A and B are shown apart, each in its own frame.
Chain A
């Protein structure tokens, strides 16, 4: 029951994060980095929800891969988990940057510096969401449920 509550909280946090990526007044992405012209374009081209989906899927997908695919006693140390976290944390900003670059190129926009600044914040969001996902689903892993912190 306690574990299900963790799962429910994790899902709620992820949905809240996604919903906040839609918001115009209190947008989760704009709380950490804001440049009016650049962010207005991200908003108008509806890129926030897509990036939120990329971040959420990578976090939950990465955690799922670790706990249910890797799921081995050979990889149940905290640094194995941290390695997967690091990979996801690096891949998410790269994927978002590629997405921004592609969308902006089609729209004839050029915001290189702003894009780099913007995606660095995604590092933190991704890491945070990976931890949330890990604590949501690790309980049912047969071999890694004690990683990164023993129960």
Chain B
């Protein structure tokens, strides 16, 4: 009897030991998996994962830097590998958490044409926009302000005095030479000074006004600024730039390109330009802490340059009300659908992809417009894009929909035994820039004076060309369909 029990104990121990060896995941891996499965990718959850690492530095030394901080790159790789093993594969961009204590440098343009934006009689939209940027920046202690025109000059006051200043142009009178704005120097210096722990913001009217433009043709100025922009930004390919167009009350002297100023009272567009490393820009675009900072209130239009490499998180929905026909998502490759068949009655195949497109910083006007996309497939599939609303999410589809913002529904008659579907959101040069551009600003009575900016398109086109190295798509979804 004793021998029998011994035998049985050995068997149980052998089986249990073998089973345990199969499931040897660490507390860190369990925590990461749990966060991904529960879609709890918040700062609090990230902090709790960091505390697991810091609580056992010997075991998790691979995830710590030499100075005892979290190694974001290594932790990111672990998260990526665990996320890729889930169904559907899940992603968590933690780069932004590594940007704790990021700094913000504001470059506040103080050219002659900027002063009337903060006239006491106006509503002060420009100053409010700058104040919002400072207030919504998560690390307010790290904010620095510079005044720019012919050069870059540090603001002499404090952040609080800047926020409370009711007439910022009066209090910064005499700083630099307000008669011209040297874009080459400003953007060049900003790009140089910007590093991986810094976000730079330029508040500007985007009017290129070099010194002494009397008797110079507008076209010559446009060509000059276009080349200048391309040259400046081509040397900084790792950077990304987001531009936001806002409108503000304007009451004062306006300085046109022919140097014959006139009085103007009305509204004028102004611009907020955010410059950062591409990776930093990707991270802040998806980080909730930066949401109010990055999604600028009251912006009429926006565009982000150098966004070609953005990775969009997406997955096919296995069950969805619009689905027609049959398919099975391949477990090894979620971009592959197997056993694909059209609906028995109609022959139509319809399936839906959920994607997180918010990080692209585009409006629904662009994202939900099928015309913004290029779709290629042998079966001539058509797409429809809709925003995900909270009422669409339930417990069962939560894993597929949570964290996603849009549904891309693909419909068509599946032909042949195999098809490759490619869905691309084209990164076209935005139309609003052309519509906001004027080539003559010599009179306030010219049509569109209050809504357009002199030479805007030429400068921005120069930046677009500098960054655009072909394959101008924001993202591409590649799907393989096998019958």
Residues on A lying within 8 angstroms of B by beta carbon are: 7, 11, 14-15, 18-19, 22, 24-25, 34, 36-37, 40-41, 43-46, 49, 52-53, 56, 60, 64, 68, 104, 107-111, 136-137, 140-142
Contacts and interface: CB of A to CB of B under 8 A. Distances in A.
Interface of B: 1, 3-5, 7-8, 11-12, 14-15, 18-19, 22-23, 33, 37-38, 85-88, 318-319, 328-329, 331-332, 394-400
Given A24-B85, A60-B12, A64-B8, A53 B395 contact: no
Given A24-B331, A25-B331, A40-B318, A45 B37 contact: yes
Contacts of A53: 19
Nearest to A110: B395
A109 B38 CA distance: 12
Given A15-B18, A137-B11, A44 B87 contact: yes
B399 A41 contact: yes
Q: Is the interface of A mostly helix, strand, loop or mixed?
A: helix
A68 B331 contact: no
B19 A108 contact: no
Nearest to A27: B331
Nearest to A40: B87
Contacts, number: 82
B5 A68 contact: yes
A109 B400 CA distance: 13
Contacts of B23: 22, 49
B332 A60 contact: no
A18 B19 contact: yes
Contacts of B329: 36
Contact of B399 (A22, A44, A46): A44
Given A11-B14, A64-B8, A19 B22 contact: yes
A146 to B, nearest CB: 16
Nearest to B30: A46
B396 A24 contact: no
Instruction: Pick from A34, A37, A107, A136 the residue with the most CB of B within 10 Å.
Output: A37
A7 B8 CA distance: 10
A36 B18 CA distance: 29
Contact of B397 (A19, A37, A56): A37
Contacts of A60: 11-12, 15
Given A24-B85, A109-B396, A140-B4, A37 B332 contact: no
A14 B15 contact: yes
B37 A44 contact: yes
A35 B1 CA distance: 47
Contacts of B38: 107
Given A11-B14, A37-B318, 16 more contacts: A25-B331, A25-B332, A36-B318, A37-B397, A37-B400, A40-B88, A41-B396, A52-B19, A56-B15, A60-B11, A60-B12, A60-B15, A109-B396, A109-B398, A140-B3, A140-B7
A56 B20 CA distance: 13
Nearest to A15: B18
A44 B12 CA distance: 28
Given A107-B395, A109-B395, A110-B396, A15 B19 contact: yes
